[in-house]
Structure 1
Amino acid sequence: MHRRFILGHVLPRCMLALAPLSASRALSSAPGKVELRVKKRDGTHCHVYVPVGISLMHALRDVSKMDVEGTCNGAMVCATCHVKLSAASFKKIEGPSEVEEDVLARALDVEETSRLACQVDLTPELDGLEVELPSQETDRS
């Protein structure tokens, strides 16, 4: 089980949402980290804290150990890192490139706010990004 320390307490990662508000604020405002609010494939919600400067795919797959394949490791050919963003979160980031749109066109369960997580670089402005892992994973590599 993955655990995190919050102000001297050990909590499972998915219990971070239940941490005292002051602890959540302290982590959220930690230099070099952003909070991601993730709805997993099974419908459960998690709040995870990940470093800025990496892609959303690496944050979900490598740092948070979530069920995100990323088969092509960011080469934008497989769509296995497809995620859905909330409307508010989608507006915070630059739109997808034409190549990304072509790859997403072959993915399953795509919505207007879908993105390839490998193409979203995390910056401090994306603190609180709301992400949903689609119910079906695509592998079209």
Structure 2
Amino acid sequence: MRIVLIAIVPRRARTKSEATDRLLADYIERCGRYVPCDSQIFEQEADFLEWLSKQPGRTPAYTILLDSRGQQFSSEDFAARFGALRDGGSQRVVLAVGPADGWSSAALQRASLLLSLGKMTLPHQLARVVAAEQVYRALTILAGHPYHSGH
């Protein structure tokens, strides 16, 4: 299974934040101890959807769109979902932070899961870090690593 963390951020809206960039890179590196993991930024949702349709594999990528209307999971439930995907043979899992105006109906139809990180709105940079940390936490839960102590 390969995990790809995506963000839709127009170039004009991108800001440099060394702190969040370092955190994101750190969690992606940590995830890489368990499964291949990387991150990409797209200027527009259409570019992301085109990229998504071109992903190789015998099955389509399992696509998780972060959306305030999505389901909320505990870390343990999120880990169980990842475990089921891994054990079910999913080759690619994509987690995507959407455009500032929200996902289009075309994107929502492509989603395998709508996931909410909570009711509060987060900046893209922070949402990406939170998503990456939760992916890492899920992988450590599945591996029985003590990173997640159940709190």
TM-score, with normalisation over the residues of structure 2? 0.26
Relative contact order, higher structure (CA 8 A, sep 6+): 2
Which structure shows the higher helix fraction? Answer: 2
